[in-house]
Structure 1
C-alpha cells in the first residue's frame, strides 16, 4: 500500500511525499505547492491501481508527459470535467455525482498503444480495448498483491458499472459530435457490460399485505404511520411524497387525485448536506395519482386547517419529514420489532414502492398502467424491474398452449384426377 507523508518546510507550504515498495525497494514521488496534498492523494490512488508500481507513462518529477497526436486532444478526465460542467439539463447534485465518478473511477482508465505500452488515456486515443479492460477491473476489483485479503479497489455492483460506463459513453459521444470533430466513432458502443441480475443478492424486497401490516402496527406515531401507508398505497418515491403540498390535492373531484410536480433533492457542498425543492426525477414523473376512498379520508384529516402551501405529511413540529429522521426513529425500529416477532424480511423504505407494484401486478393491472402510476420514463424500465413478477396469466397461457398443442392440426388431402 502506498502512503502520503507530509514534510513541513521552514517557509512556504509543505511537501507531500508518496511512498510505496516496488520489488522490495522504496519508491517516492514528491508534490508541492498549494495543491500538493490533493495531487499526492490522487497519485497514491494511481500507484495502488497499478499494483504498487509506477503508473505507466509517468515520468518522475514531471508527471505524464505526452504530446497530443490530434489537435484539440486532451487528457480524458479533463475533457470529462468540461463535459459535465457544460451540462444544462441536470441539477448540481447530479453534476457532483458525475464529477466524483470521474475523479474516482474514470481517472483510472489507461490507453494501451500498439507497442503494448500503457499511457494516459485521452479523449482521442481511447479505444474499445481500453474500455473493456477498465470495465473488467470495475467488475472484479483489484486485490493487493502483498495481501490477497485486502482490496486496492473493491468490486462494483453491475448497476454501478453500467452507470459509470453510461457516463463515459456520453463523454466520448460528445467528442464525436463536437465541432471540429475529435473522434469519428464512439469506442463504448460495443462494450459487453455485466448483467444487472448477475448479483445473487436480492436488491428489492416485496412485502405481502400481511407482512406490511406487521411492520405498520409497530409504528406508534400516527403521523409516521400515515406516511408509511401513503408510500405503500401510492408507490410514490420518498422525495415526491414528502414534498406533496395541500394545493396538490384534488379531494372533491369525481376521481380524487394527488398531483406530483416537485420532489426533494439533495445537494452536497463540501462536507455539508443541504436539501432543496426541485422537479421530479423525470418528465413522466410529473403525474396525477388516483386515490382510494380511505386515502381521501386520511388526507382530509392530515390537511384540516392547513394552508395551500403547507406540506401534507409533517412531523410533530410541523416540518416536512427528513429521510434519516423517519428511517432511524420510525421505520427501522418498527422493522426490527416486527422481525423479533417473526417477520421474515428486512424491508427498506423504498421497498414500499416495490411492494406497491407487486400488489398491482398480483391484481393483474397491466404494466403500461403501472408505468404511468409510478412515473417511469420508459415502459422498458417497468418491464426490466418488475416483469418477472407478472405471473397472473400463467393459467391462461398454459391453457392456450394446451389447446393449440393438444390435438394435431388437420392435414389437407389432395385428390388426384
Structure 2
C-alpha cells in the first residue's frame, strides 16, 4: 500500500519519501525522511495502521524522534517487575522473543497505535495460537505499555479496548469426576502414589504445592487436622527446580483435612523427618509432573478405561472410565464436590488459594446447585404458558 521513493535534492543530498493514499480521503499523502531506514520503518507502520491520517501523523513524529523501541520498553518492564520470581521473568522474556519482537519489537514505542495491536492479535490468531496464549501475550504487552505511560514514553496504552479472540471449544475445559469415577481411577494408581492422589482430591492443592509439602507442614493431631501451604516448586531462569513461595499471597493458607485422609497420611508422616518431602518418587526424589503423567497417571487412565481380567483379556462387564482428566482436574473435582456439599464460594476461595473471589466465581459458579435449581424453576414458570399453548395446538391439529 505504501512505497518509498528516493529523491535527490538540489544540494546533492538524498531524501526518502513514503507515499500512500489515505483511505478516508483517497488523497495521496507523503512523509519525507533524510534516512532510508526511518522511511522504511514509517512505511511498515503506516501500512500496519491502514494509512489513516491520525496514525500517520503520530508515526511520523515518533520515527523522527525515535525514543525507545517496543523491545526496549517490554524488556525494561520485565526488569522492573518486583513481585515475580526468576522463572516468571524468564517466561516473559521468552514470550517477548517469540511473539512480540518479530512483529513490533524494532518500532518506536510511541508509534504503536490501536490498529497495530489489533493487527498483531489477528496475526497470532491466524497462525493458530490458542485464545489463552494470545490473552497471556497481550496481557504482558499491555502491562508493558502501562509501564511506558508511567515512564513518560507515551501518553496512552494502545492495548486498551482491543477485543481478544474467544475460545471456540465446544467442550468444558475442566473434567469433573464423580465419586465412583474417582474410586475407579484410584484403584488403578500404584499404592505408592495413592496418598498423594487422595490429598489432591481432598484438599484441592495444586501439584506444585502438594509435592513441595514436608512432613512438618501437617498437623494431624489438630481437630480438624490441617496442612499449612507455604511453598511450592518453582523454576529459576535456567529452568532448574527450587522450592519457593506459592503462586500468590492468598496461596499461603491452612487447609483442613478430612479424617479419612488423616488415616491414610499418619503412617506416611510417621516415617518422615519434619523437613523431608512428604511425597516423592519411588527412589525418594522430587516428583516430576511430566514423568508422573507418562509413567503413572496415563497408565491408570488407560487401565480404568479398558479394565482387564487376570489373564490380560479385556473385561467387557467391568466398570469403565470414559473421561480423560488431567491431574489438575482433581482440583476442579474437589471444588465441585465442595460446592455440591453446600460450601460457600468465599470459603472455597480461601481453601483453593485464589487471589480473588472473581476467579472462584468465574471458574465454578456454574456448578452451584441451588442457583441451577432456581434457574430451572424460573425457566419452568416462564415456559408454563408456552406449554399450555402447545397442548392447545396439538388438540387443534388432532381435530383437523
TM-score normalised per structure 1: 0.70
- 2:40 aligns with 57
Shift of 1:84: 1.0
- 1:372 aligns with 350
CA distance in 2: counterparts of 1:325 and 1:404, whole angstroms: 53
- 1:104 aligned to 2:104? no
Distance 1:137 1:72, change over 3 A: closer
Gaps of 5+ in 1: 1-55, 60-65, 112-119, 142-154, 407-417
Q: In structure 2, which of residues 159, 162, 167 is the aligned counterpart of residue 188 of structure 1?
A: 159
Shift of 1:159: 1.1
Matched-pair contact (CA < 8 Å) for 1:256–1:291: yes
Shift of 1:163: 0.8
Shift of 1:394: 3.0
CA distance in 2: counterparts of 1:206 and 1:194, whole angstroms: 26
Q: In structure 2, which of residues 272, 284, 307 is the aligned counterpart of residue 306 of structure 1?
A: 272
- 1:83 aligned to 2:77? yes
CA distance in 1: counterparts of 2:72 and 2:270, whole angstroms: 55
RMSD of aligned C-alpha atoms? 2.7
- 1:315 aligned to 2:270? no
Shift of 1:336: 1.0
Shift of 1:358: 1.4
CA distance in 2: counterparts of 1:257 and 1:171, whole angstroms: 40
SS in 2 for 1:283: coil
- 2:312 aligns with none
Gaps of 5+ in 2: 1-38, 43-59, 308-319, 385-400
- 2:130 aligns with 157
Which runs of structure 2 are paired with 1:60-139 in the superposition (5 Å)?
69=63, 73-110=67-104, 120-139=106-125
- 2:263 aligns with 297
Matched-pair contact (CA < 8 Å) for 1:109–1:134: yes
Shift of 1:127: 0.5
- 1:212 aligns with 182
- 1:46 aligns with none
* 1:205-263 deviation line (CA, Å, top 9, x unaligned): 1111111111111113x220111111111110000001111111121122211000000
Matched-pair contact (CA < 8 Å) for 2:89–2:237: no
Larger relative contact order, structure 1 or 2 (CA cutoff 8 Å, min sep 6):
2
- Greater fraction of residues in strand: 1
- 1:348 aligns with 326
- 2:195 aligns with 226
Matched-pair contact (CA < 8 Å) for 1:361–1:392: no
Shift of 1:319: 2.6
Matched-pair contact (CA < 8 Å) for 1:239–1:264: yes
Matched-pair contact (CA < 8 Å) for 2:366–2:372: no
- Greater fraction of residues in helix: 2
Matched-pair contact (CA < 8 Å) for 1:157–1:199: no
Matched-pair contact (CA < 8 Å) for 1:73–1:122: yes
SS in 2 for 1:337: helix
Shift of 1:122: 2.0
CA distance in 1: counterparts of 2:299 and 2:192, whole angstroms: 16
- 2:213 aligns with 244
CA distance in 2: counterparts of 1:334 and 1:305, whole angstroms: 27
Shift of 1:318: 2.6
Q: In structure 2, which of residues 119, 142, 146 is the aligned counterpart of residue 169 of structure 1?
A: 142
Shift of 1:140: 2.3
Larger radius of gyration: 2
Shift of 1:101: 0.9
CA distance in 1: counterparts of 2:193 and 2:188, whole angstroms: 11
TM-score normalised per structure 2: 0.73
CA distance in 2: counterparts of 1:166 and 1:263, whole angstroms: 24
* 1:106-139 deviation line (CA, Å, top 9, x unaligned): 113349xxxxxxxx53211110110011111112
Matched-pair contact (CA < 8 Å) for 2:216–2:274: yes
Matched-pair contact (CA < 8 Å) for 1:72–1:182: no
CA distance in 1: counterparts of 2:299 and 2:81, whole angstroms: 41
SS in 1 for 2:255: strand
CA distance in 1: counterparts of 2:263 and 2:108, whole angstroms: 60
- 1:414 aligns with none
Matched-pair contact (CA < 8 Å) for 1:109–1:130: no
